[in-house]
Amino acid sequence: MSKPYVIGIAGSSGSGKTFFLKSFLNHFHQDQVTLISQDDYYIPANTKTREENRLYNFDLPTAINRASFYHDINELFSGNVVYREEYTFNNPDIKPKMLEIKPAPILIVEGLFIFYYQEVNQLLDYRIFLDADESVALERRLRRDLIERGYDHDDVMYKWINHVVPSYNEYLLPYKDSCDLVIINNTDSPKIIDDAANNICTAINNNNSNSIFI
């Protein structure tokens, strides 16, 4: 199997990255694209107490099993299937699934540190950066963490101030200007995301003689 075309997608917390990924993936046939997410490589922290979990900084590069993440990307490069247990952010109400990540001509690598991890960054052919104003991003983060992940308001705010924003400024923001495309997503309009996904796929397809994009 030849090297896949690798698209790196990173964004600030609350930038709308998850919605963008769903829209982006809809532009491909299932056997054309595969996604590997840094989030599924968190070093388990489910043995911690509630207070320890609140103080633990998940927004550091050391919170990720970096070697395993890089190893599995290379496994996909080699045409091998990767099996990985879904990470559920220590939510006891969610039973983790076993993910089957199959190699494909297009590989999407997603995560906060994919540009900071130089061994991963050098594998990327196209880099996309999603961003949003801090007030907009915080509002989205609150909605997600309070409802989907079961955190309380004080926990979310503590992590935002002490972990999320400092990590964004140190490990992601410095790579913004070197990305191929920056998307500022300050509204919740699906059209903005859909249009961006359409434009990216068209642009990459025009520069790809294999025409693997729809």
Name the helix (H) or strand (E) containing 36.
strand 33-37
**Tokens linked to 66:** 């970096």
pTM of the model: 0.87
Long-range Cβ pairs for the range 75-82 (8 Å, 24+): 76/4, 76/34, 76/36, 76/101, 76/103, 76/107, 77/3, 77/4, 77/103, 77/107, 77/123, 78/1, 78/103, 79/1, 79/103, 82/36
Q: Tell me how far apart the alpha carbons of residues 180 and 176 are, in angstroms, rounded to a whole number.
A: 9
Question: CB pairs under 8 A, 24+ apart, for 19-23?
Answer: 19/190, 19/193, 20/130, 20/183, 20/185, 20/193, 20/196, 20/197, 21/108, 21/110, 23/190, 23/193, 23/194, 23/197
Q: What is the pLDDT along the chain (214 residues), one digit of tens a residue?
A: 578 999 999 998 888 888 888 888 888 888 889 999 999 999 876 656 666 667 788 899 999 999 999 999 999 999 999 999 888 766 666 777 899 999 999 999 999 999 999 999 999 999 999 999 999 999 988 887 776 666 778 888 998 999 999 999 999 999 999 999 898 888 877 777 778 778 877 776 776 544 444 4
Tokens of 4: 């896949």
